[in-house]
């Protein structure tokens, strides 16, 4: 397991996820944090993008999930973000070259969820290893 990690914090995008009809009709703000566990030693030595994960591509993939087709549950949305992050990082089928993340941790927050109390956000956090994806 790699002790190194690439951290992406506070990615925000509008999406129409949730169980309630109004959540599907009116876009709401979601926030995503990602941690990619990956060996960064080669990039540290070489200073070459080809020796690391392109975190811009990972961020774009996560944003595309949030702005894409709706999900009822944050749990399902987090699974889709994890799969997209692995795909963008080359983590489904390593083919040499840049390093492949061994695991990804995803937190998905729904900001100002529609509940009858004052609540800043509701969130789920999952950690998936590359070998857990089908």
Q: Secondary structure of 12-73 in the HEC alphabet?
A: EEEECCCCCHHHHHCCEEEEEEEEEECCCHHHHHHCCHHHCCCHHHHHHHHHHHHHCCCCCC
CATH 3.30.1130.10 fits 5-132, yes or no: yes
Residues carrying an active site annotation = 110
Distance CA 129, CA 86 (A): 9
pLDDT reported for residue 97:
63
pTM for the whole structure: 0.91
User: How confident is the prediction for the chain on average, in pLDDT?
Assistant: 91
pLDDT reported for residue 134:
59
pLDDT reported for residue 3:
85
Estimate the crossing angle of helix 55-67 against helix 74-88, to 10 degrees. Answer: 150
* Domain positions in the chain: 5-132
Tens-digit pLDDT profile for residues 3-53: 899 999 999 999 999 999 999 999 999 999 999 999 999 999 999 999 999
């Amino acid at each position: 397991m790699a002790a190194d990690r690439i951290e992406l914090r506070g990615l925000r995008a509008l999406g129409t996820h949730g169980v309630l009809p109004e959540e599907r009709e009116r876009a709401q703000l979601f926030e995503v944090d990602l941690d990619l566990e990956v060996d960064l030693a080669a990039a540290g030595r070489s200073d070459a993008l080809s020796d690391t994960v392109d975190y811009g591509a990972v961020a774009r993939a996560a944003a595309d999930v949030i702005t894409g087709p709706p999900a009822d549950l944050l749990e399902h949305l987090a699974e889709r973000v994890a799969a997209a992050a692995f795909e963008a990082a080359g983590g489904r089928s390593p083919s040499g070259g840049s390093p492949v993340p061994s695991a990804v941790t995803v937190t998905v927050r729904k900001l100002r969820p529609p509940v009858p109390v004052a609540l800043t956000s509701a969130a789920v956090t999952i950690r998936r290893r590359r070998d857990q994806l089908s």
